[in-house]
Amino acid sequence: MVAFNALASLLVSVSAVLASPAPRTLPIPGNCNVTSAKPDLPSGQTNITVPSGQVPEKITLGVGVQNYTCTDAGTYTSAGAVATLFDISCIYDTSQYSTITKVAYDIWNAIPNNEISNVVETFVKKAFPVFADHYFITSPSGTGISPVFDARATSHKGDPNAFVLAARTGDLAAPTGNQDIDWLQLSNVQGDLAKTVLRIDTQRGQPPSSCTPGSELISVKYTAAYWFLN
């Protein structure tokens, strides 16, 4: 019954997304030019910016989980993330854009567990092609972990350099409140996919405020917009 309700709600939500007024016939092709698009960043701050000389090349929707492990001090610390990034460049200039991470979060949150993320993919993919996979690997220095955005198995098959391994160069508390993970500026360390990746318009993904030392890794659902700049 729980599963049925979640699926029914998913279908209703996806139908609503697909049926909402849009100037184009769906499915939307994933090749819209967004070089003139401007991310909606809070004014009066310099933590997150579009670096001079760079322009957006892709606007994507990330749907996934933030992982956390429990420290000996009883607080959660980041253990990376796993997400699928969908190309939403073609809705940047439509009324759907401003609510897309919220709508996607509500769909994702209605699924009873993380394993059926492929159900989300099956439906969201109808409108938005998969652009890249997002995950973490051991940093090139050998210490810590680094975010990777990898399009080699998705939108850029056959291109060995279609990834970006990045380092955090800017961090802004989410202007929407502390239930949402920070907005980030990530700069290229390796790969050709982007010079800069911005993580903005985040929805949820924060861990509980405390944990029992020794407890298992947790995965917290989130969505965000990831802008790829070149």
Contact positions toward ligand NAG, by CB under 6 A?
A: 33, 35-36, 47, 65, 67, 79-80, 82, 114, 136, 171-173, 217, 219
Q: In the bound complex, what is the minimum distance in angstroms from residue 69's beta carbon to ligand NAG?
A: 8
Q: In the bound complex, what is the minimum distance in angstroms from residue 164's beta carbon to ligand NAG?
A: 18
Q: In the bound complex, what is the minimum distance in angstroms from residue 220's beta carbon to ligand NAG?
A: 9
* Cα–Cα distance, 207 to 180 (Å, whole number): 10
Residue 81 or 164 with smaller CB distance to ligand NAG: 81
Token pair recorded at residue 184: 């980030």
Q: Is the distance from CB of 157 to CB of 151 less than 8 angstroms? A: no
Residue 17 or 204 with smaller CB distance to ligand NAG: 204
Residue 24 or 168 with smaller CB distance to ligand NAG: 168
Token pair recorded at residue 115: 């394993």
- Cis peptide leading into residue 27 (ω within 30°): yes
3-state secondary structure of 46: coil
Residues in the chain: 230
Q: In the bound complex, what is the minimum distance in angstroms from residue 33's beta carbon to ligand NAG?
A: 4
Instruction: Indicate the residue whose CB is closest to ligand NAG.
Output: 219
Residue 65 or 127 with smaller CB distance to ligand NAG: 65
Token pair recorded at residue 77: 């610390």
Q: Could you tell me which of 16, 53, 156, 37 has the C-alpha nearest to residue 89?
A: 37
Q: In the bound complex, what is the minimum distance in angstroms from residue 172's beta carbon to ligand NAG?
A: 4
Token pair recorded at residue 65: 């989980």
Pairing mode of beta strands 76-87, 56-70? antiparallel
Residue 7 or 79 with smaller CB distance to ligand NAG: 79
